[in-house]
Amino acid sequence: MGKNGTIGFREIFGKDEMKKYNCSLRRYICPVLREILMFFYPPRCPVCDDILLPGVMICESCRHEIERAKEPVCKRCGKPLRDDRAEYCGDCERKKHLYLQGKAVFVYKGGIRQSMYRFKYGNRREYALFYAREAAEQYRGWVARHRIEVIVPIPMYSRKARLRGYNQAEVFARALGRELDLPTKSLVKRVRNTVPQKTLSESERRHNLKNAFHLEPDIVKWNQILLVDDIYTTGSTMDAVAEILLSAGIKNIYYICISIGTGF
Ligand SMILES: [Zn+2]
Ligand SMILES: [Zn+2]
């Protein structure tokens, strides 16, 4: 009998028949199902959202249009700089951050801006694979050099995540974990809803985030943590999470975000 007291395929066909059935399911039916799914949900370009040709992750014109966060970048937050003699952006010169170093994959503008919006609000979770592959390509060596042990997404207030159905930072973190072969753990929780940061001044942001996070008990196992978020603006969220991680004894905190502004 099956799990719910029903008669399943196994009971009807027997073990050997099932092996054959599983084999043919994989060989013939899965490709057909995939074709049907592709017909109804064709893969789309993560930048312009047009339907893609088979075998590509982004359309050719978008590949040229998007801007990656390439050197020279701020040594602290990863924002691209115009002057390659400068070490830090204006932001990082003015204030000390609690994380050690951060990296961004793209510059937050044009098509990437639209892409981020659909990833966050338009249920385009599948874009995460493209972001994660790009991130892994750019920063695999950097992640290995800093001996990152675990990837931790910046949390979203749980009711908000339930309403939206997902936390975009977590979706990206999991895709990145698979690409880099690292574990992904939601070790930080957001226990208090906060006002959207973009409407607030720097000191209001810090106050807004005070006591907004708490940690899962098994956080102490780790020394090098990579935080992950979709967009980096002033870094106050990253610092608020870093602060609570440092107070729990975590030694080094880094981050990767999908996109960032420029730091001229
Ligand atoms: Zn495109
Ligand atoms: Zn900076």
Let me know the angle formed at the C-alpha of 36 by 33 and 37, rounded to the nearest 5 degrees: 85
Q: What is the number of the ligand closest to the CA of 65?
A: 1
Full pLDDT tens readout for the chain, 264 residues: 444 444 444 544 455 555 555 556 666 667 777 777 777 778 899 999 999 988 899 999 999 999 999 999 999 999 999 988 999 999 999 999 999 999 999 999 999 999 999 999 999 999 999 999 999 999 999 999 999 999 999 998 777 777 878 999 999 999 999 999 999 999 898 887 766 766 777 777 777 777 778 887 776 788 999 999 999 988 999 999 999 999 888 999 999 999 999 876
Helices 236-247 and 202-209, axial angle in degrees (round to 10)? 40
Q: What is the number of the ligand closest to the CA of 264?
A: 2
What distance in angstroms lies between residue 46's CA and the mean position of ligand 1's atoms? 7
Residue 52 domain-assigned (yes or no): no
Kindly report whether the peptide bond that precedes residue 42 is cis, defined as omega within 30 degrees of 0: no
Residue 109 domain-assigned (yes or no): yes
What distance in angstroms lies between residue 210's CA and the mean position of ligand 2's atoms? 22
Q: What is the number of the ligand closest to the CA of 56?
A: 1
Residue 236 domain-assigned (yes or no): yes
CB 237 within 8 A of CB 264: no
Supply the pTM of this predicted model: 0.81
Residue 30 domain-assigned (yes or no): no
Q: What is the number of the ligand closest to the CA of 46?
A: 1
What distance in angstroms lies between residue 92's CA and the mean position of ligand 2's atoms? 4
Residues 6+ apart with CB under 8 A from 255: 99, 102, 103, 226, 227, 228, 229, 232, 238
Residue 84 domain-assigned (yes or no): yes
- The alpha-helical segments, DSSP class H, found in the chain are 9-24, 30-40, 60-65, 90-94, 110-121, 127-145, 158-164, 168-180, 202-209, 236-247
In which residue are the tokens 């639209």 written? 114
Residue type, 19: K
Residue 50 domain-assigned (yes or no): no
Residue 127 domain-assigned (yes or no): yes
Domain containing residue 213: 65-260
Residue 3 domain-assigned (yes or no): no
Structural domain count of the chain: 1
Measured torsion, CA atoms of residues 108, 110, 114, 115, in degrees rounded to the nearest 10: -70
Check which CATH number belongs to the domain holding 90 and give it: 3.40.50
